[in-house]
Amino acid sequence: MPNFIDRRLNPKDKSLGNRQRFLKRAREELKRFIKDRVKTDKIADVDSDHAVPMPARGASEPTFQPARGSGDRQYVLPGNRDYMPGDRIDKPQGGGGSGSSAGKGEDEDNFQFLLSREEVLELFFEDLELPDMIKLSLKEAVAFKPRRAGFATSGSPTNINVSRTMRNSYGRRIALQRPKRKTLEALAQEIEALATEPELGIAERRHLEDLRVQLDLLERRRRRIPYVDPVDIRFNRFERQPLPNANAVMFCLMDVSSSMGEREKDLAKRFFVLLHLFLKRRYDRIDIVFIRHTDEAGEVDEDTFFYSTQSGGTVVSTALEEMLRIIQERYPAKEWNIYAAQASDGDNVSRDSDRCASLLTSELMRLCQYYAYVEIIDERESEIFGSTDNGTSLWRAYRTVDGEWPNFQMTRIARPSDIYPVFRKLFARQPTLQFR
């Protein structure tokens, strides 16, 4: 007799630790890959599962391997049809034939595996230097709240719905004619009354017998049909309902004149992605509106926004006007939470900057929940400027707005790690999710 063991109940994911170690090892390469993905993907798709290729470096396991196409080898192969000794077969181009020496050369070239959303975000956050708590809260999925949703035949004992259960049991008892206790008691009394009679006639005795049989029958029937049967039981059923959230719209404004190069756009994109991640956590539905501007502004789709260049001057106020127009047209501030993020290298036509500031203070800032402005500069410039007030004309103009409105944030960034400070205030107001 063998020893059978059921291992299926063992804890799962025995390999998870090893998988994590492997990812850690290939981290640099995967990070580079995710970075490229962020450049090409849509903003809203960044936090999803990603298939990534097997990292080549950092995860190689070298051993002494025979070199292909060197030396003399012998192969024995099956399935000869018409070869005769002495026949010559041209070697396939690119190394030796695939003989019986096909070792561990598994084709890992086009091999892809899935990174989960958490792993992807971990890699994305890497250079942004976010505080841990923020990272955790960004990775969190939407909050759910259980909501009553009818009844179920199974559930946990704490959720038994007594009234519904008893209603079912009552119906069943009527249908199956479960004798009531009153009738039984009445019968028993009758029997007792008869039994205590000193003298009984034959008919009465027979009647007593009948009664006893009937009582016996009823009692058995009562035992057979339970008062509450498992089929009667009903449980309260709950559905996990996502917390109702208002809608948000996110305006991405960017200067696309030729002064914004690859690096600047990449930084700007990360900035937008981070804002989007934050909004995604709080709101059910997020619309993203992309407005690009040179000396005129227009709403475009995401691809155009990031990848096509326009030439022309730079008039920032056009973008703000366009944004205002769209808000009035489609996103009434009563129904929408409006967020805006603007990225620019600070170039602007002279005298236009003041107009921007006044547009913001008079109109836009009243409508917006939050307005973030980042100015993308060179690493060298960042050392010169630091956090001083002088800078481009746009910067100086926005400084006035910054002083006036608490929900306005601005900063200069040269490195990915400079992005987070813009949002610091935003994240600092950890809104407690309210159950409505």
Chain residues that interact with another protein, rule: CB under 8 A: 1-8, 10, 12-15, 17-25, 54, 59-81, 83-91, 96-102, 106, 108, 111-114
Least distance in angstroms from the C-beta of 110 to another protein: 11
Instruction: Compute the distance between CA of residue 181 and CA of residue 171 in angstroms, rounded to an integer.
Output: 17
Contact of 290 with 378, CB cutoff 8 Å:
no
**Least CB distance to another protein at residue 69 (A):** 6
Q: How far is CA 74 from CA 81, 91, 128, 166, in A?
A: 19, 14, 57, 83
- Distance (Å, rounded) from C-alpha 40 to C-alpha 265? 11
Closest CA to 234 of 146, 173, 155: 155
CA distances from 50 to 13, 31, 33, 137, 223 (A): 20, 12, 10, 20, 62
**Cα–Cα distance for residue pair 277/13, rounded to 1 Å:** 29
Beta carbon nearer to another protein, 59 or 191: 59
Shorter beta-carbon distance to another protein: residue 6 or 132: 6
Classify strands 247-255 and 336-344 as parallel, antiparallel or unpaired. Answer: parallel
Name which of 79 and 386 has its Cβ closer to another protein. Answer: 79
Task: Name the minimum Å distance from CB 49 to another protein.
Answer: 13
Work out the burial of residue 334: count CB atoms within 10 Å of its CB; fewer than 13 is exposed, 13-18 middle, 19 or more buried.
Answer: exposed
User: 24 or 147, CB closer to another protein?
Assistant: 24
Please calculate the CA angle 180-185-191 and round it to the nearest 5 degrees: 130
Tell me the three state secondary structure of residue 312: coil
Q: Which amino acid is at 296?
A: E
111 or 307, CB closer to another protein? 111
Nearer to another protein, 58 or 171 (CB): 58
CB of residue 154 to another protein, shortest distance in Å: 24
Using the minimum distance from each CB to another protein, give the nearer residue, 59 or 194: 59
